[in-house]
């Protein structure tokens, strides 16, 4: 049985945890992923860091397929749209606590019946 990506659920949970702890959530985004809409003048080495704290954005939507919000960059309003697959990390800027996602987090196939090796848990240590 295949499952949907866990990434959007983890992003929402970590966002809430960071905000409840009076910290500012930031996203590290791969700006080269198709359909990523971010202000290109702030992209460095194909990545951009976005402050998604409640006081920094408007109309934040942490959906299952996309993160969307409006923000100001150098005083100019900009509508940001980031596919969930482009989110590389979410963390608190104050202390760096959060989670980094690998490219293959949700790409592993579901184990097939009778395949003992594939049926074993595949867990990663998260620090």
Strands 66-73 and 47-51: unpaired
**Can you tell me whether residue 25 is helix, strand or coil?**
strand
Q: CA quadruple 118, 9, 24, 59: dihedral positive or negative?
A: positive
pLDDT of residue 110: 44
Which string of b and e fits 30-60 if b means at least 16 CB within 10 Å? Answer: bbeeeebebeeeebeeebbebebbeeebeeb
Mean pLDDT (whole number) for 39-64: 97
* 76-91 confidence digits (pLDDT tens): 999 999 999 999 999 9
Give me the domains of the chain, ranges plus CATH numbers. Answer: 7-101 (2.30.30.220)
* 53-68 confidence digits (pLDDT tens): 999 999 999 999 999 9
């Amino acid at each position: 049985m295949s499952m949907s990506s866990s990434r959007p659920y983890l992003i929402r949970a970590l966002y809430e945890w960071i905000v409840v702890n009076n910290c500012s959530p930031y996203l590290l985004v791969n700006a080269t992923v198709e359909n990523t809409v971010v202000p290109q003048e702030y992209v460095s080495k194909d990545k951009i860091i976005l402050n998604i704290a409640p006081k920094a954005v408007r109309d934040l939507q942490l959906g299952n397929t996309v993160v969307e919000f409006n923000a100001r960059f150098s005083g100019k309003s900009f509508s940001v749209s980031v596919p969930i697959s482009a989110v590389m990390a979410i963390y608190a800027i104050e202390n760096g606590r959060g989670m980094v996602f690998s490219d293959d987090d949700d790409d592993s196939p579901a184990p097939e019946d009778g395949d003992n090796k594939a049926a074993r848990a595949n867990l990663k240590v998260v620090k």
